[in-house]
Structure 1
Amino acid sequence: MAEAIKAIALEEANNIKTLVTDGLRSGTYSYPFLGILYFGSHHSLWGPLRKLLAPIGTLSLVVTSGMFFFTYVPQVAILAFISGPFAPFAAIPLILSESSTIIKLLARVFMLEESLIDTFDGTMIARGHSALVAKGRVVKSSSASSSSSSASDPMAKLGKLVKKPLGKLSMTYLVRSLIYFPLNFIPVVGTFMYLATQGRRLGPVAHARYFQLKGWDAKRREEWVKAHRAEYTSFGAAAFLLEMIPFASIAFSYSNTVGAALWASNIENNAVEYHEE
């Protein structure tokens, strides 16, 4: 039994190593950081986040403070058996990750779904993909804008959603995330495995709206993700790392959404190249 578990763990580690290596070569890990730059320099995209700053800030403060107050000492005690004297330090990123997961789940369930869709669609319009966005919502023409400034604002062109918003994250998301937390108990290597595992799961989620706009069914989406698994793992790991940062995790959810849209835009602009891969 022990040998079987060891073999499975080794196989999983090798698979993750391959995904990480191929993902680094793809360069898609850069899109979350490009999203930060693009989001920061395009003030018109800030609207959806501005509306939710107060409730999101309060939620982040309450959850993170509560997690440190109630779980820091118990987790240090557990980590002491594995990390020894480094346990007090190892517990910090673990709790931040746990807090981030809880904050994101609660925020996405109760606050963010349509807001992030607006951000993704607005970025796609800004990048010249109004026709694609029009497959999922009403896109107002420039002539319908009341002023020249609003005519150049991609967010002002967003009309009513035609396709229903994507399904909200469920408790399944939280449970699956918690299952992978023990990887952090393994010094250094465990953290990298945790990021890669989360990236592999969450990377494709970043393009859920893109797949919806493309009109792809489940089979088509699965085929696409399978063919580009390393790229999505690379993107997902970088995005997840940013969203682990307390108090800023939700802001990075927006910039990561922008990064996902920039990647989708490049896929559209290089459609032939991507489909030949």
Structure 2
Amino acid sequence: MAGSLDNAKNKAKEVAVEDFNKAKSLAHSAAKSGAYLYPIKGIFFFISHRTLWKPLLSKLVPTFSLSVGVIAFMFLFAYLPQLAVLVFVNGPLAAFTTILLTLSESSTLINIISRTFLLQDALVDTFDGVMVARNQSDVLSEGRQLKSGNFKDPMAKLGKLVKSPFEKFTPKAIIRYVMYLPLNFIPVVGTVIFVLLQGRSRGNSVHTRYFQLKKWSDSERGQWLKENTAPYAAFGTVATLLELIPFASIFFSFTNTVGAALWAADIENRNTTMTEMQNSASQEVKKSA
């Protein structure tokens, strides 16, 4: 009996050490990549380039109205019932954690509704405008017509879309969100884990447009995301935290899109393994043909 307990303890210790080392490795990779800085860079780039404001300004009134309506609805009908449950779990921290939970739920609803019905084209225009501003017209031409001539305004150079824009929210993303929601009932730590998990999911979608422009297959996208889990999770976590800020989530949706485009442009400029991987895949296709 004692031997079995010792074996179980040793196994548990091995698993804990293994998980800790994995987490440490991911954290190191995320820090080394600097991907977590791109949402912040996106804010400054967006603010300093007034021409990029056009898509946001065109959607400001309907999205702000949507945000106010959703947040008001959630705090009126969801805050108190959730507080009644969390007060038994979180004690004096219940009010704070319930606010975070309600804001998270509101943010998710706002993003689902706005990205599906209001912002999709505007976010694509913003991403593409940044790519033009960062001299990535060659990449962008794979998915969009570009007007000839020298334009000081990158948005004015954008023509008709050749490829359909970002993917809309999928039922899988909503199901995953609902599955992770109970984590918020764990004091503080649960909310942090919830944000990190949401951040990882968010990170996997930030370069959907870029992968589309690169003509990557689903398997190529999956391989790249798997090899770069930490950087994308870091970007997604910061982006998620920014979009949790009430009444500003739509603004940060645009700045996060700018940050994602800046990151994509840097990948192209540095000719990283992503570009090399695409070239290799293209060569294999040509050989097989």
Superposed, 1:12-161 pairs within 5 Å as 14=20, 18-142=25-149, 151-161=151-161
Matched residue, 2:284: none
Alignment RMSD: 2.2
Any conservation in 2 of the 1:117–1:165 contact (CA below 8 Å)? yes
- Distance in 1, Cα, partners of 2:85 & 2:32: 37
Matched residue, 2:166: 166
Matched residue, 1:206: 206
Q: Give the partner amino acid of 2:134.
A: R
Query: How many residues are aligned here?
Result: 264
Match of 1:205, SS? coil
Any conservation in 1 of the 2:93–2:187 contact (CA below 8 Å)? no
How far 1:275 moved relative to its partner? 6.2
Match of 1:141, SS? coil
Any conservation in 2 of the 1:102–1:174 contact (CA below 8 Å)? no
Q: Give the partner amino acid of 2:103.
A: L
Any conservation in 2 of the 1:16–1:197 contact (CA below 8 Å)? no
Given the two structures, how large is their TM-score scaled by the length of structure 1? Answer: 0.89
Moved more, 45-54 or 80-89: 80-89
- Point out which structure has higher relative CO (alpha carbons under 8 A, 6+ apart): 1
Judged with a 3 Å threshold, the aligned counterparts in structure 2 of structure 1 residues 74 and 187 are, in CA distance, closer, same or farther, namely same
- Distance in 2, Cα, partners of 1:58 & 1:43: 23
Matched residue, 1:197: 197
Given the two structures, how large is their TM-score scaled by the length of structure 2? Answer: 0.85
Post-superposition Cα deviations, 1:146-176, rounded to whole Å, max 9, x if no partner, equal xxxxx21000000000112233213432232
- Distance in 2, Cα, partners of 1:276 & 1:208: 18
Any conservation in 1 of the 2:200–2:233 contact (CA below 8 Å)? yes
- Distance in 2, Cα, partners of 1:12 & 1:86: 32
- Distance in 1, Cα, partners of 2:40 & 2:112: 22
Matched residue, 1:265: 265
Any conservation in 1 of the 2:97–2:188 contact (CA below 8 Å)? no
Extract unaligned runs of 5+ from structure 1: 144-150
Matched residue, 1:179: 179
Q: Give the partner amino acid of 1:192.
A: V
Judged with a 3 Å threshold, the aligned counterparts in structure 2 of structure 1 residues 275 and 152 are, in CA distance, closer, same or farther, namely closer
